[in-house]
Amino acid sequence: MSEEQSVEREITVPVAPEEAWELVTERRHLERWLAPEVDIDLRDGGDVRVVGDDGVERTGTVELIDAPSRLRFTWEAEREAPTIVEISLSPLEDGTRIGVVEREPLRVDAAAGNVVPLRPRPAAGPLLLAA
Amino acid sequence: MSQDVGSTFAALADPTRRHVMALLADRGSGTATEFARELPVTRQAIAKHLAALDEAGLAAGRREGRETRYRLTPEPLQEAVAWMASVGAEWDERLARLQGYVRDNLNVP
C-alpha cells in the first residue's frame, strides 16, 4: 500500500484527543485552519463542502466517523478526480498526534491480489496494470 | 488529482516493472529480448511489463521487425510528482495554521 499515490502529514498539538477531535470536526474551528468555508455534516454519508482560500469548492461525503480518533471523507473539485482524506488522532502523553492522509480511492482486485485505482483509464480499455 | 496519476503509481507498484523502467531510463530504449538478458525474468514477462508501462503512458512502443522497441515517456510521472508536491504543500499550510490556531487559543489555567 505504500506505493499508492498519497500524501501524509502529521502534527502534534498540546491538547487532549477529545479537544483535538473538536478541532478537526467543528465548523467554528475548521474555518480557522482548514479553509475559509467548511460545511461537514458529521454522520456517515453526510455532505462535505469546503471552499479554499483560492475560491475552489470541493464537495464530497463523510465515509467514516469514529470519535475521537478517526474521520474520513471524500472530496473533489470540478475537473479533478476525487480523493479521500483521512484524519486520525492518537493520544500522546502530553497531547495528541493529528495525522492526515490524502489519497485516491482504491479497490482491491481480489483475483490478482493487487490494489488498483478505482477509476478506469479513460477509453483505454480494461485496466491492465494489475497484469 | 488528474485522471491518470493514480494509474501511473499503480504501474510502478511492481518491483520488476520498476527495474524494467530503470533499465529503460538508463539505456534510452530497449526490447523485451534485450532486457531479458539482463534480468532474471523471462522475455515474455518483460514484454508484459513493457506493455503495462506503455498502457500507463510511461513508455511508448514501436514495432521493429518481430519485436517492439520501447522508450521512456516520463511525463505522467512528472504529473504524479507534481500532484504530491501540491497536495503536500496544501496540507503543510493547513496544518501550520492549525498549530498556530491551537497555540493562540490555548486555555491557560
Collect all residues of chain A within an 8 Å Cβ-Cβ radius of residue B80. Answer: 5
Nearest to A15 among B9, B84, B102 (CB): B102
User: How many domains does chain B contain in total?
Assistant: 1
Instruction: Find chain B residues with C-beta within 8 A of A128's C-beta.
Output: 51-52, 55
Question: What is the predicted pLDDT for the residue at A106?
Answer: 64
State the CATH number of the domain containing residue B68. Answer: 1.10.10.10
Give the model confidence (pLDDT) of A55-81 as tens digits: 889 999 999 999 999 999 999 988 788
| Contact between residue A47 and residue A53 where contact means Cβ atoms under 8 Å apart | no
Q: Point out the residues of chain B with pLDDT beneath 70.
A: 1-5, 107-109
**Under an 8 A CB cutoff, do A104 and B55 touch?**
no
Beta strand residue intervals within A1-131, DSSP E: 6-13, 37-40, 47-51, 57-66, 70-77, 83-92, 95-103, 106-109, 114-117
Which value does ipTM take for this structure?
Answer: 0.80
Question: What's the domain range around B47?
Answer: 3-105
pLDDT tens digits, A111-127: 444 555 544 434 333 33
Say yes or no for a CB contact (<8 Å) between A114 and B13: yes
Q: Do the Cβ atoms of A81 and B99 come within 8 Å?
A: no
